[in-house]
Amino acid sequence: MNIEWSQKLFEALYNEGVRDLVLCPGARNSPLVAVLSRMSGFTLHSFFEERSGAFFALGLSRRTGAPAAIVTTSGTAAAELLPAVVEAYHTGVPLIAITADRPRRLRGTGAPQAIDQVGLFGKFVSLESDLESGEMPSFEKWNRRTPAHLNICFDEPLLDAPLRDFSFAGGSAHTSFLGTSTFPSSAGAEWASLRLTKFLRSEDPLVVVVGTLESPREREAVTAFLKRFGAPVYLEGTSGLRERADLQSIVLRSGDKLLAWGLKQGFIARVLRIGGVPTVRIWRDLDEATSKIEVLSLTNLPFQGLSRGELVCTEIASCVEAVSLEMKPDSVAGALLVKDRAVEKALSQLYIDEPLAEPSLVHALSKRITPDSVVYVGNSLPIREWDLAASYEQVVAVEANRGVNGIDGQVATFLGLAREGVENWAIMGDLTAMYDLAGPWGLRSRPDVRMNLVIINNGGGKIFSRIFKNDLFENKHSFEFEGWARMWRLPYERWTTIPDSCARAESVVIELVPDNEATQRFWDRYDSFWETRK
């Protein structure tokens, strides 16, 4: 029963478009492991640690646009999947969690590895199937924009039949989910475009903020809309539009403090957000109860990131393509752009004056990365420093885990997302790397991927040093990463400056050590650019 049933389960997954399976073997999922050892048709990735393995599967699904599955044994192994499932839920990724379980009769008994796994992921899965004795899941109502959970209850004997070779031939994965919206709450493109047009007709000063865009079609449609409308726009790196030459006349390039300055000066009365929930600080400021700024979020995921404003959840590309408004010349928008260009010029000099400061090092690195590379930026400081300081000359594909902004699973996600045939760069903080020390295991199943893992080691969580005057927040340390690289048999380099050539022929761990005093001077001068002078 178990062996035959496992084979049928994998057949159902194959028919659902799954091609990548991340396997974390154990005793309770041994029927699944045994069948997979004799089955072809899937790309099988073996992982020893479930939390990193789940983030690796998340990255695989984001890269391919098709569902990827993570297969675990029972008990705490299943619980390790929660962080990646939560991230997948908030980013619209069809991650499938397959957890082996002991028979239902053992629930609540305290039997070893027999926790109640039903409901383990709560609201963060849209499909949950608790299966026993040959029962099969139904994917009919699954929207493929949220995770699914299959809980497979195996009874003894676990390996109850001879194994045989089995192969899936032909067939293709489902069309990519990227750039689509299949949530029940989604608005039709026609209604959404009418609502957007009404919002845009106002003459109050407007700024557009573009977060993560998922597909080439979205990016092209949003680019055409921004050019046609002509309002000042803040483009995050994950939008894929930040370096577009045809948008530079309206792009705000001096960092997110410009938006806070614009609010204070009365230069911003409305904010249109397109794409994912923004990284920029203004998004938190807009949530204040006293804020009267009108906000409209145009997104294909049902998350506003605010407790106020209006959410239009729809297919972004179709919506903006239907809007034909053009913006009239606006003196307020012009003043915002004038301030932006002045600060941008001062920033350029600051990179020269403080070359060892952390943002300056990120700026220099961005100019050395080969165009068309994949650049994965870790949460906390690196993603903010990239958006502020990265060159606008190099066109790269920027990726990040921005669903819940966590720092866990970043190395594994990066390795799942990495592409063959191009340079793959990850830029992340020291604590972020420590959170995922198991992540490099993913290289074992992706030997053709070239990884440049840059760890900015500033001795702790420096993002908190600018927010709280309390050392407890920083988790200060004096650790280095050479021994960790050696454990994974990876080349290691230590940089305090950016070399003229960053190209490497093999995967490498690079420990980038900024000058913390120079960094403090950099931020002090940057903050001074926004001081109001009479």
Give the domain ranges of the chain.
2-167, 189-339, 354-528
CA pair distance 58, 22, nearest whole angstrom: 10
Domains 2-167 and 354-528 share a fold: yes
CA–centroid distance for 206 within its chain: 27
Edge-to-edge strand ranges of the sheet holding 68-72: 43-46, 20-23, 68-72, 96-101, 148-153, 127-132
Judged by phi (left if over 0) then psi (alpha if -120 to 50, else beta), residue 382 lies in: alpha
What's the pLDDT at 462?
77
Helix (H) or strand (E) holding 311, with range, is strand 310-313
pTM: 0.95
* C-alpha distances out from residue 188 to 180, 213, 214, 317, Å: 12, 19, 19, 12
Distance of CA 519 to the CA centre of its chain: 26
| CATH topology (fold) of 189-339 | Rossmann fold (3.40.50)
pLDDT at 515: 97
Q: What is the pLDDT of residue 285?
A: 86
Q: Which two tokens stand for residue 207?
A: 């700024």
> According to the model, what pLDDT value does residue 187 have?
76
Whole-number pLDDT of residue 430: 97
Element (H, E) at 297: strand 294-299
Give the model's pLDDT for residue 317: 95
In the CATH hierarchy, which fold is given to the domain comprising 354-528?
Answer: Rossmann fold (3.40.50)
Could you write out the DSSP letters of every residue in 88-107?
Answer: HHHHT---EEEEEE--GGGT
From the CA atom positions of the chain, what is the Rg in Å? 24
The full 3-state SS of 5-43, as one line of letters, equals HHHHHHHHHHHCCCCEEEECCCCCCHHHHHHHCCEECCE
CA atoms in the 13 A half-sphere facing the CB of 310: 15
Query: In tens digits, what is the pLDDT along the chain, a chain of 534 residues?
Result: 999 999 999 999 999 999 999 999 999 999 999 999 999 999 999 999 999 999 999 999 999 999 999 999 999 999 999 999 999 999 999 999 999 999 999 999 999 888 999 999 999 999 999 999 999 999 998 989 999 999 999 999 999 999 999 888 765 555 676 666 556 667 788 899 999 999 999 989 999 999 999 999 999 999 999 999 999 999 999 999 999 999 999 999 999 999 999 998 999 999 999 999 999 988 888 988 667 899 999 999 999 999 999 999 999 999 999 998 877 777 788 899 999 999 999 999 999 999 999 999 999 999 999 999 999 999 989 999 999 999 999 899 999 999 999 999 999 999 999 999 999 999 999 999 999 999 999 999 999 999 999 999 999 987 767 677 777 778 899 999 999 999 999 999 999 999 999 988 899 999 999 999 999 999 999 999 998 653
Q: What CATH number does the domain located at 2-167 have?
A: 3.40.50.970
**pLDDT at residue 459 in the model:** 94
CA distance 96 to 410: 19
